[in-house]
Amino acid sequence: MQLIEHVQYLAFNPGVTPKGGGLPGLPVLKNVMGSLNLYGIIAAVGALVISALTWAWGSHSGGHQAEANGKKGAAVAAGCALLLGAANGIVAFASNLGTQVH
d(Cα 80, Cα 54) in Å, to the nearest integer? 18
Question: Using alpha carbons only, what angle is made at residue 88 by residues 70 and 46, rounded to the nearest 5 degrees?
Answer: 25
- Reported pTM: 0.73
At residue 96, the pLDDT reads 87
Dihedral of the alpha carbons of 43, 47, 48, 49, in degrees to the nearest 10: 100
Q: Is it the case that residue 73 has pLDDT exceeding 70? A: yes
Distance CA 24, CA 30 (A): 12
pLDDT digits (tens, 9 = 90+) for 29-59: 999 999 999 999 999 999 999 999 999 999 9
Task: Tell me which of 98 and 12 has the higher pLDDT.
Answer: 98
Question: What are the pLDDT digits (tens) for 5-37?
Answer: 666 555 566 667 777 777 888 889 999 999 999
**Cα atoms found within 13 Å of the Cα of residue 25, Cβ hemisphere only:** 3
Check if the beta carbon of residue 74 is closer than 8 Å to that of residue 52.
yes
Residue ranges covered by each domain of the chain? 28-99
